[in-house]
Chain A
Amino acid sequence: MDRMACVELPTLPLQLLLRAHPEWRDEPVALIEREAPHAAILCVNEEARRLGIAPGMRYSVALGLCAKLCAGVFENSAVATEVEGIAELLRRFSPRVEASTEHRGTFWLDTRGLTPLYPSLADWARAIEADLCAAGFAATIAVGFRRFASAAIARALARGIVLFECAEEEHAALLRVPLVHIGLEPAARAELEKLGVERVGDLVLLHAGSLLRRFGPKVHALHRRASGDLQEPLTPQHPVIRPRASIGLEFPETDRVRLLALCQELLAPLLTRLEERGEVVLTLAFHLTLDDARTVEEHISPAVPTRDRAWLVRLLELRLESLSLKPGVARVEIVLEAAAPRVAETTLFAERPRRDPAAAAKAIDALTVLLGPGSVVHARLQDAHLPEARFAWSPGTLPHRPAPHAPTSPMLVRRIFHAPHALAPLAPHASDGWLLRGVTHGCVQRLIGPHSLSGGWWRSEVERDYHFAELKNGELYWIFYDKRRRRWFLQGSVS
Chain B
Amino acid sequence: MSAALLWCKSNFSFLEGASHPDELCEEAARLGYDALALTDRDGVYGVVRAHVKARDLGLKLIVGAQVSVDDGSSIVLLAQDRAGYANLCQLLSTGRLRSVKGASVVSWSEVCERASGLIALWGGEESRLSRAEECDEIAGSLRAAFGDRLYALAARHRRAEEVRHEARLRERARRFSLPVAAATEVLYHRQDRRRVQDLVTCIRRGTTISQAGRFLKPNAEHHLKSPHAFAELFHDDLVAQAHTRDIAARCTFSMSDLSYRYPGERLPDGTSAAQWLRQLTFEGARARYGARIPAPVVAQVERELTLIDELDYGGYFLTIHDLVLFCEREKILCQGRGSAANSAVCYCLRITAVDPVRMDLLFERFLSKERAEPPDIDLDIEHERREEVIQYMYAKYGRAHAAMVANLVCYRARSAVRDVGKALGWKESQLLRVAELLSHWDGIEEGVFTQAGIDTSTHACRLLLELASEIEGFPRHLSIHPGGFLLGHEPVSTLVPIENATMPDRTVIQWDKDDVEALGLFKVDLLGLGALTHLHRAFDLLREHHGLELTIATVPPDDRATFEQISRADTVGVFQIESRAQMSMLPQLGPKTYYDLVIEISIVRPGPITGGMVHPFLRRRNGEETVEYPHECLRPVLEKTLGVPLFQEQVMKLAVVAADYTPGEADALRRDMAAWKKTGRIAQHRERLITRMQKKGIAIEFAERVFQQILGFGEYGFPESHAASFALISYAGAWIKCHHPAVFACSLLNAQPMGFYSVATIVEDAKRHGVEVRPADVQRSRWDCSLEKKDDVLAVRMGLRFVRNLGYGAGRAIEIAVDEAPFTSIEDFHRRTKISENALKSLAEAGAFEQLERERRSALWSAVGASRTEAHEMFAGEAHAEPPARFAPLSEFDTIRWDYAATNYSARSHPLAPLRAELDALGLPDARRVSKMRDGARVDYAGLVICRQRPGTAAGVTFMTLEDETGFVNVIVKPVVFEAHAVLGKTRAFLGVSGRLQVKGSSVQLLAKKLWVPEVDSEPQSGGSRDFH
Contacts and interface: CB of A to CB of B under 8 A. Distances in A.
A194 interface: yes
A452 interface: yes
Give 3 closest A-B pairs by Cβ, nearest first. A383-B213, A452-B219, A451-B160
B932 interface: no
A52 B987 contact: yes
A143 B559 CA distance: 79
A412 interface: no
Interface in A44-81: 51-52, 59-60, 63-69, 71
10 contacts: A37-B432, A67-B452, A191-B864, A207-B883, A213-B869, A214-B865, A450-B158, A452-B158, A452-B159, A452-B221
Interface of A: 32, 35-37, 51-52, 59-60, 63-69, 71, 191, 194-197, 206-207, 209-210, 213-214, 382-385, 450-455, 457-459, 465-466
Contact of A65 (B194, B216, B857, B983): B983
B195 interface: yes
Contacts of A459: 210
Given A37-B429, A207-B883, A452-B218, 16 more contacts: A35-B427, A52-B983, A59-B432, A63-B436, A65-B983, A67-B452, A71-B429, A194-B857, A196-B857, A213-B865, A214-B868, A385-B218, A452-B159, A452-B220, A455-B218, A457-B195
B882 A210 contact: yes
Contacts of B158: 450-452, 465
Given A196-B888, A384-B214, A458 B463 contact: yes
Interface string B886-917: 01100000000000000000000000000000
A453 B218 contact: yes
Interface string B424-437: 10011101110011
Given A385-B216, A458-B209, A63 B432 contact: yes
B219 A67 contact: no
A52 B436 CA distance: 17
A194 B860 contact: yes
Nearest to A460: B459
Contacts of A197: 887
Interface in B711-728: none
Contact of A458 (B210, B428, B451): B210
A455 B201 CA distance: 14
A384 B218 CA distance: 9
B166 interface: no
B845 interface: yes
A195 B860 contact: yes
Given A213-B865, A385-B216, A453-B219, A195 B857 contact: yes
A64 B436 contact: yes
B91 to A, nearest CB: 34
Interface in B931-957: none
Nearest to B427: A35
B219 A454 contact: yes
A68 B453 contact: yes
Contact of A36 (B160, B428, B857): B428
Measured as residues with beta carbon below 8 angstroms from the partner, the interface class of chain B is 35 or more
Contacts of B885: 206-207, 210
A65 B198 CA distance: 35
B861 interface: yes
A66 B985 CA distance: 12
Contacts of B433: 63, 67, 69
Contacts of A382: 213
A398 to B, nearest CB: 21
B986 interface: yes
Given A68-B453, A385-B218, A210 B429 contact: no
The winner among A32, A383, A450 for most chain B CB atoms within 10 A is A383
Nearest to B452: A67
A210 B195 CA distance: 67
Contacts of B221: 452
Contacts of A35: 427-429
Contact of A60 (B436, B864, B865): B436
A68 to B, nearest CB: 6
The winner among A196, A209, A466 for most chain B CB atoms within 10 A is A196
Interface in B410-431: 424, 427-429, 431
B159 A59 contact: no
Contacts of B429: 32, 35-37, 59, 71
Contact of B214 (A32, A209, A383, A450): A383
The winner among A51, A454, A458 for most chain B CB atoms within 10 A is A458
Contacts of B845: 194
Nearest to A50: B983
A37 B882 CA distance: 48
Nearest to A209: B882
A185 to B, nearest CB: 14
Contacts of A68: 452-453
Given A67-B437, A67-B452, A68-B453, A384 B857 contact: no
Interface string B214-233: 10101111000000000000
Contact of A66 (B160, B883, B888, B983): B983
Nearest to A51: B983
Nearest to B199: A458
Contacts of B213: 382-385
Contacts of A195: 857, 860-861, 887
B428 A37 contact: yes
The winner among A35, A59, A65, A195 for most chain B CB atoms within 10 A is A195
A450 B233 CA distance: 11
A69 B477 CA distance: 32
Contacts of B427: 35
B807 to A, nearest CB: 21
Interface string B323-363: 00000000000000000000000000000000000000000
Contacts of B857: 194-196
A360 B931 CA distance: 92
A341 B195 CA distance: 53
Nearest to A73: B429
A64 B219 contact: no
B986 A455 contact: no
A95 to B, nearest CB: 43
Given A196-B857, A455-B219, A213 B868 contact: yes
Contacts of B883: 207, 210
Contacts of A65: 983, 986-987
A194 B859 CA distance: 12
Contacts of B987: 52, 65
B468 to A, nearest CB: 14
Contacts of B888: 196
Contacts of A453: 218-219
A63 B982 CA distance: 13
A52 B431 CA distance: 22
Contacts of B210: 458-459
Contacts of A67: 433, 436-437, 451-453
Interface string B743-775: 000000000000000000000000000000000
The winner among A32, A51, A67 for most chain B CB atoms within 10 A is A67
Contacts of B451: 67
Contacts of B195: 457
A240 B987 CA distance: 51
A41 to B, nearest CB: 12
A217 to B, nearest CB: 13
Nearest to A389: B213
B877 to A, nearest CB: 14
Nearest to A191: B864
Interface in B629-688: none
Interface in B763-805: none
Contacts of B428: 35-37
B463 A210 contact: no
Nearest to B861: A195
The winner among A35, A382, A453, A457 for most chain B CB atoms within 10 A is A457
Contact of B220 (A32, A51, A52, A454): A454
A347 B685 CA distance: 90
